[in-house]
């Protein structure tokens, strides 16, 4: 079962190859379906099912990943704890589905959607290609974060405010400090605080360590602001459309 082995022996990952492009297509189709059927989904059994399915898949994905590491004798506190940003945002997505706390949605929207899209675009997959388990786990968990954000916005009509940008940015910085402490204790590199990813990513454009961490602070604020701007444009267009229908 090479597709379950930690030591990679199967096909390598091809950036923008057929399997990678299929990930984008699947994610886009899922989001489009949410947009098309948004009125039919609100406050129905299907809505309850979907809001239960998302957390279930996230939790099963994490459980399967831990089993994968343990069964391969590869579990280590330096890299196996669910402390990466991708783990943090699926946890906030689960909390957002189960609670009405706005902060969890804000983090999932800004940090989740932006980081998931960038990660899917430039994946740090250690060359695990289709159909290895890590390929599926990686893209399903990241892709579902984007889909979850789409669902919350178009179906549940969750709202954002300008203050949401700075609240999310502040929470992420607190989380970063906490994770940095764990890195020191475990000799880990969670959230790539201690060094850049091996694969080519956005980090390569932000300078050497530790300056890329400062650059990321500015980039995060810029990206969050851009996302909020687009959110407001879409919301304004929708309001105009509704007024015209009346």
pLDDT tens, residue by residue, 145-163: 999 999 999 999 999 999 9
Tens of pLDDT, residues 188-227: 999 999 998 877 777 888 888 888 999 999 999 999 999 9
Say what percent of the chain tops pLDDT 90. 74
Contact 64, 82 (CB under 8 A): no
Q: Residue 212 in contact with residue 203, Cβ under 8 Å?
A: yes
For residue 1, CA distances in Å to 8, 56, 62, 113 come to: 11, 26, 20, 33
- Please enumerate in sequence order all residues whose Cβ is within 8 A of that of 141, keeping only pairs 6 or more positions apart, or say none: 58, 61, 62, 86, 90
Whole-angstrom CA distances from 96 to 15, 44, 73, 145, 211 are 32, 18, 34, 12, 33
Task: List the domain range (segments joined by +) for residue 130.
Answer: 2-245
Provide the domain count of the chain. Answer: 1
Q: What is the percent of the chain where pLDDT is above 70? A: 96
Lookup: tokens for 61: 């994905």
**The Cα angle at residue 205 between residues 18 and 224, in degrees rounded to 5:** 85
C-alpha separations of 99 from 92, 103, 106 in Å = 10, 10, 13
Q: Using omega within 30 degrees of 0 as the cis cutoff, is the peptide bond preceding 181 cis?
A: no
pTM of the prediction?
A: 0.92
């Amino acid at each position: 079962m090479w597709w379950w082995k930690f030591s990679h022996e199967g096909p390598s990952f091809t950036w923008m190859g057929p399997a990678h492009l299929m990930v984008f297509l699947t994610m886009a189709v899922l989001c489009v379906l949410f947009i098309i059927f948004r009125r039919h989904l609100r406050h129905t059994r299907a809505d309850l099912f979907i809001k239960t399915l998302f957390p279930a898949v996230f939790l099963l994905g994490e459980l399967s990943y831990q089993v994968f590491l343990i069964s391969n004798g590869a579990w280590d506190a330096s890299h196996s704890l669910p402390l990466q940003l991708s783990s943090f945002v699926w946890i906030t997505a689960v909390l957002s589905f189960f609670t009405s706390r706005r902060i969890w949605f804000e983090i999932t929207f800004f940090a989740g959607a932006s980081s998931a899209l960038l990660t899917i675009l430039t994946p740090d997959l250690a060359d695990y290609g289709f159909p290895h388990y890590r390929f599926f786990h990686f893209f399903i968990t990241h892709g579902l974060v984007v889909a979850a954000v789409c669902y919350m916005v178009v179906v549940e009509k969750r709202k954002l405010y300008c203050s949401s940008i700075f609240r999310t940015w502040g929470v992420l910085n607190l989380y970063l400090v906490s994770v940095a402490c764990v890195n020191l204790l475990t000799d880990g590199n969670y959230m790539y605080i201690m060094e850049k990813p091996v694969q080519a990513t956005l980090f390569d454009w932000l300078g050497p360590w530790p300056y890329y961490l400062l650059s990321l602070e500015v980039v995060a604020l810029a990206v969050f602001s851009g996302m909020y701007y687009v959110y407001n444009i879409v919301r304004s267009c929708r309001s105009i459309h509704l007024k015209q229908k009346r």
